[in-house]
A and B are shown apart, each in its own frame.
Chain A
Amino acid sequence: EPEVTQTPSHQVTQMGQEVILRCVPISNHLYFYWYRQILGQKVEFLVSFYNNEISEKSEIFDDQFSVERPDGSNFTLKIRSTKLEDSAMYFCASSEGAGGGYTFGSGTRLTVV
């Protein structure tokens, strides 16, 4: 069964450093998403991406965050200057259409120290 692949599975970074979280969505999917889950809290929407641009973003997705699809297969989330409160599990997801079901990756656990 097709999978969404995320790397790395766990990343530790120092506060103020830039991090890039990587995702390989399912190849024929057109919509891509990032969600995050702070430990013990809800899974929260960050951003959706379609046709090489952001289609929707939440209030969490401020200027410190950016997304990119650099080469037609990868989908990345960059956090420019990490804060302690960015520590969370970050999930990538993709879907074939806007109304279709999502497939989520296994997540990247980001720890900011």
Chain B
Amino acid sequence: GDSVTQMEGPVTLSEEAFLTINCTYTATGYPSLFWYVQYPGEGLQLLLKATKADDKGSNKGFEATYRKETTSFHLEKGSVQVSDSAVYFCALRAIGTSGSRLTFGEGTQLTVNP
């Protein structure tokens, strides 16, 4: 079945550091890929998405490129801020005949220190 694997967490960085959170997936067909973010006490918010190979999703300084050859969708940001502290979830949606469920990775807790 479909699955998503994220890098082991948690991740702790200093402000202005470079961020990479790795995400790889297994799916039949060509899924759409997503990054969701969960700030403390809040729900899941869509951060960015990519729907086909080589697409780059971007939002709020975060980027991720859909790499079919490596089945990856790594999240990057050049300079993190304290306000980026949150849990980040990689997810895929493989469109099938019966629905469009999201399959999530384990989540990566990011803490950014001033």
Task: List A residues at the B interface (Cβ < 8 Å).
Answer: 4, 6, 31, 33, 35, 41-45, 48, 50, 55-56, 58, 91, 93, 95, 98-99, 101-107
Q: Are A55 and B44 in contact (CB under 8 A)?
A: no
Number of A-B residue pairs having CB atoms within 8 Å of each other in the complex: 55
Q: Are B101 and A42 in contact (CB under 8 A)?
A: no
- In the assembled complex, the Cα of A103 lies from the Cα of B44 at a distance in Å of 8
The number of chain B residues with a CB under 8 A from chain A is: 23
- In the assembled complex, the Cα of A107 lies from the Cα of B87 at a distance in Å of 15
- Nearest CB of chain B from residue A102's CB, rounded to whole Å: 7
Q: Which residues of B contact A106 (CB under 8 A)?
A: 41-43
Q: Which residues of A contact B105 (CB under 8 A)?
A: 42
Q: Are B106 and A48 in contact (CB under 8 A)?
A: no
* Contact partner, B95, options A99, A103, A105, Cβ 8 Å: A99
- In the assembled complex, the Cα of A50 lies from the Cα of B41 at a distance in Å of 29
Task: List B residues at the A interface (Cβ < 8 Å).
Answer: 32, 34, 36, 41-46, 49, 89, 91, 95, 98-107
Q: Which residues of B contact A102 (CB under 8 A)?
A: 46, 102
Q: Which residues of A contact B98 (CB under 8 A)?
A: 55-56
Q: Which residues of B contact A56 (CB under 8 A)?
A: 98-99, 101
Chain A contact surface mostly: strand
Closest 5 CB pairs of A and B: A56-B99, A106-B43, A104-B44, A43-B104, A45-B101
Chain B residue with Cβ nearest A46: B101
Q: Are B46 and A101 in contact (CB under 8 A)?
A: yes
- In the assembled complex, the Cα of A42 lies from the Cα of B36 at a distance in Å of 13
Chain A residue with Cβ nearest B3: A42
Q: Are A55 and B99 in contact (CB under 8 A)?
A: yes
